[in-house]
Structure 1
Amino acid sequence: MRGGPSENPELWAFLEALHYGEFLSGTITAIERFGVFVALDDGPDHPVFPGVGFISFAELSWRRFEAASDVVQVGQRVSCAFLQFDTWNLEARLSLKATQPDPVQVFADTVAVGQKLTGQVTKLIPVGVFVQVADGIEGLVPLRDLAWTTVETASDVVQVGDTITVVVTEIDRERRKVTLSRRPSSAADA
């Protein structure tokens, strides 16, 4: 699209005045296959898009979701954090998840390595299984830590929907990953 300040002076001035982390309110106007458009309360109309604000799928939620409509609906009021001025599309890149606490960080603050938890198996993959141990928290149990004996495939031991007891072996805050085991170490057993 690309239009300089002279073509859309009001829109350009509005976007240029925004600061990283600033909260903006608006209404979801469209859900597309590439993201979500937001009509901002204090912003001008966009000459092409159904809103000046745009939320990519990665910025919608901390939690895993299948479709954007699992997180937001057209017509819904939202408050988002401003990320950047997209000068190519003349839009405000926004984050909805930045307005919510990261469940992995909350989990890391409240759970210790070595702690036993009960969770539900959510997915089987070639290298192990994912287990939901808290709201919005899924940890990986590597195949080698799934049983006390050698396991060829996860389905030999567990199925999706099974409830199992696991031990937290690692919480990586930076990469937002939780690693679990069904084979507790002697320290965890003590």
Structure 2
Amino acid sequence: MSDSVSAPEVEVEEIQLEDEGTPRVIVADDLGDLSFDDAIAQTIVRFDDGDIVKGKVVRVDKDEVLLDIGFKSEGVIPARELSIRHDVNPFEVVKVGDEVEALVIQKEDKEGRLILSKKRAQYERAWGSIEEVKEKNGSVKGAVIEVVKGGLIVDIGLRGFLPASLVELRRVRDLTPYIGKMMEAKIIELDKNRNNVVLSRRAWLEETQKEQREEFLANLKPGDVRKGVVSSIVAFGVFVDLGGMDGLVHVSELSWKHVDHPSSVVQVGDEIDVQILEVDRSKERISLSLKATQRDPWEEFASAHKPGELVYGRVTKLVPFGAFIQVAEGIEGLVHISEMSFQHVDSPDHVVEVGEELWIKIIDIDLARRRISISIKQAADGGEVAAEYQDIYGEHAYDDDGNFIGTYDYSAVDFEPETEAQKAWLADLESQRGTSASSEEDSQE
């Protein structure tokens, strides 16, 4: 009887096909000292709520994304947890095969699902870097994703708020064109507990343009006249863009006349000439004047008139000590109560009323103090009529001293009045035309 011979031990191998159809050899005892259960346990990722995990996108639907993180089941990222942007399309955020990070919101919900959030993982990562940027006084970059009340939302890994007043060096009215644009800004406020990040692009612009501003200011000198564009209007004046920085024209520097509101003089977008009044380099402020580029009406009046002349004016205001009368555009003179009549006057309204038009004589012109003294009672004595009125009647009607000596054919008068005084004269002439016509008719009868 022959001895039985045992068969030699042979390693058992299995042939498995991988997903791609490529055979892979599995050796039965390749686990070493590990049991099969232990080997399986080692393949399962361990984590807790709040942890950040990494995985591969295996499915994208309109309302959720499935992520394989090596857990016993795939994680679910709801559409609302994909991005800091509102109402996003999951297909525009991720695609199958993408590797993404996600924060564990709930290890197992009531349906046994693993709930993840991509945007919260992004948020946590972003906070760390943003806090570091803030400490180093750096800047952040991001795309504008929304226009909200009072400003813009910028995607900097989380939702950064950029107030409208801090978008540019001057306030912007329409923020819509900024949607989709990349912005670089400074962080001016950071509060993780309140999830609050406030940005300032203006601060970044001011910092990066500091050298340019310094050079711009260095080239401005008081007295220079520059062209500019009205950028904004406020109650106390207007801001003018000089092509690099804004300067302020105070309301008192807008016109030689009284200005109730700056909008009555200029409008946003108007191109105007302004004179540099003052440059404060330390505060980076530029004071401008519009009226300084225009001829002073007082200088014009003083050069064209002299004491003793007769001018025509309109009563603009009564005061206890007399009456103010406008004698030219932007020029008012005072008739003191003692110069209103040869008789004693108790109150100016006994002699004239607001809106009344009459002849007055210039007594004195004080250009330095911008004052003109005039008289009603002295006008009654006659005198030299101011040149603008001589032009109306003709030089032949006056003697060498300017006194009216002749008559005039009023029917021949035909001119376009350019001043209030000329309008008043025209009214007088038309009235006299009527009187002359009536006299001729009477004489013919």
TM-score bracket for the superposition, by shorter chain length:
0.7 to 0.9
**Cα displacement string for residues 117-145 of structure 1 (whole angstroms, at most 9, x for unaligned residues):** 11111111222211111122111111221
Name the SS of the counterpart of 1:55 in structure 2: strand
Structure 1: 5+ residue stretches without partners: 1-5, 45-51
**1:28-107 equivalence runs, <5 A:** 28-40=230-242, 42-44=243-245, 52-87=246-281, 89-107=283-301
Picking from 301, 306, 315, the partner of 1:121 is 315
- How far apart, in 2, do the equivalents of 1:151 and 1:54 lie? 47
- How far apart, in 1, do the equivalents of 2:307 and 2:336 lie? 16
Q: Is the 8 A contact 2:223 2:277 kept in 1?
A: yes
Code of the residue aligned with 2:233 in structure 1: it is I
Code of the residue aligned with 2:239 in structure 1: it is F
Code of the residue aligned with 2:213 in structure 1: it is L
Picking from 139, 147, 150, the partner of 2:341 is 147
Q: Is the 8 A contact 2:221 2:279 kept in 1?
A: no
- How far apart, in 2, do the equivalents of 1:187 and 1:120 lie? 18
TM superposition shift of 1:88: 5.8
Name the SS of the counterpart of 1:81 in structure 2: strand
Normalising by the residue count of structure 1, what TM-score does the alignment of the two structures yield?
0.84
- How far apart, in 1, do the equivalents of 2:320 and 2:232 lie? 37
Q: Is the 8 A contact 2:251 2:259 kept in 1?
A: no
Residues 115, 30 of structure 1: alpha-carbon distance in 2 compared, 3 angstrom cutoff: same
Code of the residue aligned with 1:33 in structure 2: it is A
**Cα displacement string for residues 135-187 of structure 1 (whole angstroms, at most 9, x for unaligned residues):** 22111111221222222222222111100110001111111111111121869
Residues 61, 30 of structure 1: alpha-carbon distance in 2 compared, 3 angstrom cutoff: same
Q: Are positions 1:21 and 2:223 aligned together? A: yes
- Per the alignment, residue 144 of structure 2 pairs with none
Higher RCO, 1 vs 2 (CA within 8 Å, ≥6 residues apart): 1
Q: Is the 8 A contact 1:114 1:187 kept in 2?
A: no
Name the SS of the counterpart of 2:378 in structure 1: coil
- How far apart, in 1, do the equivalents of 2:281 and 2:337 lie? 46
Residues 54, 150 of structure 1: alpha-carbon distance in 2 compared, 3 angstrom cutoff: same
Q: Is the 8 A contact 1:80 1:94 kept in 2?
A: yes
Superposition RMSD in Å: 2.2
Name the stretch that deviates more: 122-131 or 179-188.
179-188
- Per the alignment, residue 361 of structure 2 pairs with 167
**Cα displacement string for residues 40-89 of structure 1 (whole angstroms, at most 9, x for unaligned residues):** 1x324xxxxxxx11111221111223222222222211110111113464
Structure with greater helix percent: 2
Q: Percent identity of the aligned residues? A: 37
The count of corresponding residues between Structure 1 and Structure 2 is 177
Residues 89, 156 of structure 1: alpha-carbon distance in 2 compared, 3 angstrom cutoff: farther
- How far apart, in 2, do the equivalents of 1:149 and 1:88 lie? 62
Code of the residue aligned with 1:113 in structure 2: it is P
- How far apart, in 1, do the equivalents of 2:320 and 2:266 lie? 32
Name the SS of the counterpart of 1:65 in structure 2: coil
- How far apart, in 2, do the equivalents of 1:69 and 1:151 lie? 42
- Per the alignment, residue 47 of structure 1 pairs with none
Larger radius of gyration: 2
- How far apart, in 2, do the equivalents of 1:155 and 1:65 lie? 27
- Per the alignment, residue 351 of structure 2 pairs with 157
- How far apart, in 1, do the equivalents of 2:251 and 2:369 lie? 18
Q: Is the 8 A contact 1:80 1:96 kept in 2?
A: yes
